[in-house]
Structure 1
């Protein structure tokens, strides 16, 4: 499959002071996976093979639970087109 973009926002149900540390664990995991990604204020966008990125989404939920979340609510967005799509083609003109 061609390159796709998957954006993930995880909202672990933990005490307020634990939200960022849990999300940090998810971002550390994404970083360890070797996929291109960008952390934004509201979500992290990844680029790569859809199956691999969906496995990362699944593991992100497991990490939240391992870190004490009683529940995890997520927003996942997928940008797919047959010839592939990159983050750069959508954002290059805004980068300084």
Structure 2
């Protein structure tokens, strides 16, 4: 299967002062998954096979619930092309 980019934004239903704490738990799941990822101010973008990334998404949502969220809304964006797509091809010209 081709490499895809998947961006995940989790929006946990918690008290405002706990939002970052709970989002950090989702990012921890992504980090520990071993997939290539890049944390941004509004979402985290991952690179890999789609089936693998879906599993990471499910685990990240579960991590938010375990951290105390009563609900998790997620925004997911996927960039797919048959020959594969990388984060590097999109952002290399913006990195110094």
- TM-score normalised per structure 1: 0.97
Q: Mark the runs of 5 or more structure 1 residues left unpaired by the alignment.
A: none
The whole-number CA distance in structure 1 between the counterparts of 2:67 and 2:27 is 13
1:7-86 to structure 2, matched below 5 A, reads 7-86=7-86
Q: Which runs of 4+ in 1 moved over 6 A?
A: none
Deviation at 1:61, TM superposition (A): 1.0
Distance 2:25 2:16 in 1: 15
Please give the alpha-carbon distance, in whole angstroms, between the structure 2 residues aligned to 1:86 and 1:9: 19
Alignment deviations for residues 10-47 of structure 1 (CA, whole Å, 9 cap, x no partner): 00000111110111111111111111000000000000
Cα distance in 2 between the residues matched to 1:33 and 1:74 = 18
Q: Any stretches of 5+ residues in structure 2 without a counterpart?
A: none
Which SS does the other structure have where 1:42 is aligned?
coil
State how many pairs are aligned.
96
**Take 1:22 and 1:75, find their aligned partners in 2: how far apart are those partners?**
16
Structure 2 equivalent of residue 95 of structure 1: 95
Q: Distance in 2 between matches of 1:94 and 1:60?
A: 28
CA RMSD, Structure 1 to Structure 2 (Å): 0.6
